[in-house]
Amino acid sequence: MDMETSEKIQGSGILQLFASLLIPQSACTAKVANIIAEVAKNEFMRIPCVDAGLISPLVQLLNSKDQEVLLQTGRALGNICYDSHEGRSAVDQAGGAQIVIDHLRSLCSITDPANEKLLTVFCGMLMNYSNENDSLQAQLINMGVIPTLVKLLGIHCQNAALTEMCLVAFGNLAELESSKEQFASTNIAEELVKLFKKQIEHDKREMIFEVLAPLAENDAIKLQLVEAGLVECLLEIVQQKVDSDKEDDIAELKTASDLMVLLLLGDESMQKLFEGGKGNVFQRVLSWIPSNNHQLQLAGALAIANFARNDGNCIHMVDNGIVEKLMDLLGRHVEEGNVTVQHAALSALRNLAIPVVNKAKMLSAGVTEAVLKFLKSEMPPVQFKLLGTLRMLIDAQAEAAEQLGKNVKLVERLVEWCEAKDHAGVMGESNRLLSALIRHSKSKDVIKTIVQSGGIKHLVTMATSEHVIMQNEALVALALIAALELGTAEKDLESAKLVQILHKLLADERSAPEIKYNSMVLICALMGSESLHKEVQDLAFLDVISKLRSHENKSVAQQASLTEQRLTVES
């Protein structure tokens, strides 16, 4: 129906007349509903339909037994709701949604074409009613629409139009967090995978992917999808599309490999696919890493990072040569490399370096050298992972920590990154690595290198971090500096106002016990410096420390007594 006709209808007052014609007994009811459905295809006619009082009689007609009346009424209501807040509100107030859901339930198992057409219209009406409206979607979920739609999909998978409607509905509802638990209690995973295996056309598969991605964010559904055989489908797509340069194929390869990585984010689904490192899936994903396709290299490295979420898997993978594969991959991306691949490969190496037994093996395989090639990167995500990998590798590895701590290029870059105010993550990791180099090497040469590069002030600032773990790491490193190289660091410690900061930490009631303890250990270590000693005396530390003798934490109280004695003797 064109604009002109619609305008004439609106001007003639005929819409109000329609309201009185929409009665269940009348022979022309279906025709009237059909006209309203046509009129409401025009956007600006939807509010006039609501204002003319058509919604309430239309919703009443949903109780009709006549299939044609139901069909046209469903169309009319669906079109009035399309993108129309007023239409939806009116249908909501008239209670239309519940009646439609009840119809879907009772007609669900009937597969004749006329009934399937009606079911398709009803699904479409619910879609238009709730599309992009969280509260109406939540209402449908509470009415139990999800199990009903899943059942529809299972029974009518031969009907393309109805299947498509169900998929669009799932896609919309799956965006809501509250829907995931409902979905998880149905057999949606099985139905979607079954449907997926039957699809040949790219567009149809695309539609299923759009439902799978939000659903797969739920861990229970991840496992169901794995058990339903989705992974085999994804691996097959990758194999088919890997060498194609058609746009659709490239897009599908990306979607399939991204979804594969997402499935590995769940602990149970990941462990099931790892199969002790012997699994076909794990082996196939490994083969992506040396491929020439950037998307597959990326997905392969991310998958390894996901497999590397527990010590057993990490140890198995390192013993079976994964490190060399990842180092080769990084080597291919040093000059003008792909940043996302760099980031993913470094993430995998960082996770693999967590188990104690892997550190020495990875160090002797040359991982530090491979990682240090990216020191010149200007990309914060790469910088962040590079720092995390080095920090994991040197944990309790004195020799490696000393070697890195004497690397002037590295230390200077760390000091530079400690000032990266725009990138809190990089800044935090740089500070933590500086501290780790000192804590794990306990080396005078490392401390001298850090002093010469201007790193001391950053360690002092780190002692005031809002993260207790970082404060602690800083205080322990500073205590080592004071014990091993106080003379070298003295001036920097003074200008960084260390003594004033320690006074503040000890006087602050909110400081954690370990912070108080390590602050006092540090005060004692500073006594060997004349100028710092004088600062301690000038600040009346004794008042603060004598109060801590009665601290509820035994170690703190004990250290307070020792520190008090030390200060009394020295003054």
pLDDT, tens only, 3-45 = 676 667 666 667 776 777 777 777 788 998 999 999 899 888 8
Identify whether the C-beta of residue 434 lies closer than 8 Å to the C-beta of residue 418.
yes
Write out pLDDT tens, residues 369-397. 999 999 999 999 999 999 999 999 999 99
Write out pLDDT tens, residues 165-219. 999 999 889 888 888 889 999 999 999 999 999 887 888 889 999 999 999 999 9
Q: Which domains does the chain have, with CATH numbers?
A: 1-94 (1.25.10.10), 409-485 (no CATH), 497-570 (no CATH)
* Residue 567, pLDDT score: 86
Q: What is the dihedral of CA 564, 568, 570, 571, to 10 degrees?
A: 130
Identify whether the C-beta of residue 204 lies closer than 8 Å to the C-beta of residue 171.
no
- In three-state secondary structure terms, 216 is coil
Identify whether the C-beta of residue 53 lies closer than 8 Å to the C-beta of residue 93.
no
Alpha-carbon distance 4 to 495, whole Å? 81
Determine if residue 397 is left, alpha or beta; phi over 0 gives left, psi from -120 to 50 gives alpha, anything else beta.
beta
Helix, strand, coil percent content, the chain, rounded in steps of 5? 75, 0, 25
Phi, psi torsion values for 7, nearest 5 degrees: -65, -40
Residue 35 is encoded by which pair of tokens? Answer: 């006209």
* Residue 6, pLDDT score: 67
